[in-house]
Chains A and B, each alone.
Chain A
């Protein structure tokens, strides 16, 4: 009974997934006046300009209303994690309507009013991490409409390879076996309808200005034409008709440098300099003295079956081969429940390793994706003193009860590092990024199952050789406000993996020009210091909005209870409005009329003190020395007694004075009396 229900659910999920995957980019479907569903011809043009590590993407889509009535529609599209939409433009014939950023509910109200009043309008909303939707309404019969959406994103860099990703598919997310896609969008009428029929045309052009000599440009899943030479080139899709349905991934590389490099990018916005510091570590692995406790957590759900699981198995085998005998380790497999190899981490003795190899050999892939128990086991207890715990967590599933999982990581991660690996096209990479950020680690996304073994072992080798630990960055400062930096917790720097830190500086670039950016950290337990003068920066558009995006995400990432909920909401909203980007709290709305000026709500700003991290018990080997001579106590005691004595002496003096005065007085009285007596007597 139970089994058959699960079977049904799985079938349903599979059907939903496959139908969505095939149709997502088919996008806009117009719903006419009479309620009839009418397909529209459309094309999609994607223009991407890459400057260094920042990419600016413009997506232009053309729709035609072939019906006899007024039409409206809506479509959902995924964007790379960390992307920030800041532009919406609707072109109808000669008229151009620019979108404006408003608070989400407000934007929807404006859109609905326009819809009711018969005005052409468009709305871009963010639904969930990297899922966005565009709604259009009141498209006149026979009208052509062009919708342009612009967004910024960062380019991924690992091991000398730069990767630009443009997702063209989306998968529903699973919440304990239920498909939640429709629920996410339930509040937004009309319900999304996906077009069927011929796949749409996707034209894509990438202008690449890498800033260094390119060693090779390659598209991983699409046939492309590449033109240009040196550091600049242009890439175009060779077969626009067959491009949809696969994520677009463009990879290029630079010459390898054997040392740690850094580059500073600055953009001025709203009178303040925004800076991006990029640290590129050398590609080579150089093992350092590090005692590790390696916890491998591996997804063995049914969806991993086949090549994906074989590759993951291979990666774990390689990890076990490389493990040092001084190290400790454990392997935890999970599907519907967690299956740990050992109850807790054990020494990497030959016997234990042999057991691990046998365990890996016997594992099969089956069941769902329940990460809860596995994460609990991975983070349980504290690592042995002197050991750094590294948890490597690989999954191909989507996690829906995110908030709960993240809260748990906040509570239990302690000083351990968490490295997330997302496999395939349907993984919830926003969740993995958040989890890894909280765990001071990184995320690795592997789209092609054939790459799993290679990329996973790459990561595992990385973990053996941190290039810089305990990194700290000091930004120049003119006034009293220190630079606001995101991420707040700077992760360690590993070979082949760059680090990007965004900051808003206290003042405009022209003033800060004289300062330097300074990074300090530990390499192989030695103190390392690097400096970049501010005047040597590269100017790069997109840095300010990337900072704003990081701030909005970062504030949401802060642990529950570390910040007043209202303040958190207000700060995020204010940032999105000020930097004019679409966020979970703001939307872009464009209405075909002269736009009235909007007044951004004045927001409460309250300073909150950050929570101090709790100290951990160290090894009980040497008690702290007594480091108090007690001189202050003695000195103060002496001084206070001296004060009392002085007071007493003063008091005695005063008393004596009083007494003598009284006595003098009494003597006087006696004398008078005596005199009169005498007088009488006389």
Chain B
């Protein structure tokens, strides 16, 4: 009798702890996506208050702020892009960085904001709106898969050039793989002033 109840207690403990683990993992999933959604929402309100000096801080003490707005008309996509491509910033939205010669880099997580990157095709239009209301039109030139262990981004590349980066494959289960999907876009002739 004592043995049975002992067993019972052990399995109950096991179930309880496993449940905890499962919920913490699911919570992490929810947290990442929630952060992504809330980030975009907060950024949107900060973006609305932006002026010539750039966007306002989205919340007190925020380490980043919206830097641009990215539209893909063909895919009906609208993303607020934040400053910097460091990991903490990428949680809130796609991160942007501009090289000294006009090479614009935008990176985002493959499981949140840049899920669509695989759907971009040559010729698709990309609009990038800067805080002062300047809109720049780009066209997708090519997509390719590169290995981040052997390939680097040339931030000094002579622009104007827009590069979108996310992890590849888009639906991989293991996080942190070496492959990246790199989409290059160039200014579209006649559509920019």
Contact = CB atoms under 8 A, between A and B. Distances in A.
Interface of A: 289, 291, 385-386, 470, 472, 520, 522-523, 525-529, 615, 617-639, 641-642, 644-645, 648-649, 652
A386 B110 CA distance: 28
Contact of A385 (B27, B139, B154, B159): B154
B175 A630 contact: yes
B89 to A, nearest CB: 10
Given A385-B154, A525-B158, 7 more contacts: A615-B146, A619-B152, A625-B107, A628-B177, A635-B28, A641-B21, A648-B15
Interface residues of B, number: 70
Contacts of B148: 623-624
Interface string B135-164: 000110110111110111111111111000
A115 to B, nearest CB: 57
Given A527-B186, A627-B165, A615 B147 contact: yes
A624 B161 contact: no
A636 B175 CA distance: 11
Contacts of B48: none
Contact of B173 (A385, A636, A642, A644): A636
B119 interface: no
Most buried by B among A291, A529, A634: A634
Given A622-B154, A627-B166, A633 B174 contact: yes
Contacts of B155: 621-622
Contacts, number: 176
A649 B25 contact: no
A644 B18 contact: yes
A621 B156 contact: yes
A525 B161 contact: yes
17 contacts: A386-B157, A526-B187, A529-B188, A618-B146, A622-B154, A624-B148, A626-B176, A627-B107, A627-B114, A628-B110, A630-B32, A630-B176, A633-B174, A633-B175, A635-B29, A644-B18, A648-B14
Contact of A631 (B28, B157, B159): B28
Given A470-B141, A526-B188, A626-B176, A618 B25 contact: no
B116 interface: no
A623 B154 CA distance: 9
Given A289-B158, A618-B153, A624-B152, A634 B25 contact: yes
B19 interface: yes
A386 B161 CA distance: 13
Interface string B101-126: 00001011111101000000011000
B189 A523 contact: yes
Given A526-B187, A623-B148, A633 B173 contact: yes
A648 B185 CA distance: 52
Given A629-B111, A636-B173, A645 B32 contact: no
Nearest to B19: A645
A628 B187 contact: no
Contact of A638 (B29, B147, B167, B171): B29
Contacts of A472: 122
A353 B28 CA distance: 63
Most buried by B among A525, A627, A637, A639: A627
Cβ-closest 6 pairs across A and B:
A638-B25, A635-B29, A527-B139, A638-B26, A624-B148, A641-B22
Contacts of B36: 629
A627 B167 contact: yes
Contacts of B142: 470
A666 B155 CA distance: 79
B59 interface: no
B81 interface: no
B33 A631 contact: yes
Contacts of A523: 189
B111 A648 contact: no
Contacts of B87: 625-626
B95 interface: yes
B186 A632 contact: no
Most buried by B among A470, A622, A629: A629
Contacts of A634: 25-26, 28-29, 32
B152 A645 contact: no
B186 A645 contact: no
B90 interface: yes
Interface string B55-76: 0000000000000000000000
A617 B145 CA distance: 12
A386 B24 CA distance: 47
Contacts of B19: 641-642, 645
Contacts of A525: 158-161, 186-187
A470 B139 CA distance: 14
A652 B7 CA distance: 11
A638 B146 CA distance: 30
A634 B122 CA distance: 33
A628 B109 contact: yes
A625 B85 contact: yes
A63 to B, nearest CB: 57
A629 B32 CA distance: 7
Contacts of B175: 628-630, 632-633
Contact of B151 (A520, A624, A636): A624
Contacts of A631: 28-29, 32-33, 109, 111-112
B172 interface: yes
B32 A638 contact: no
Contact of A652 (B11, B90, B157): B11
Contact of A629 (B22, B109, B122, B172): B109
B82 to A, nearest CB: 13
Nearest to B21: A641
B91 interface: yes
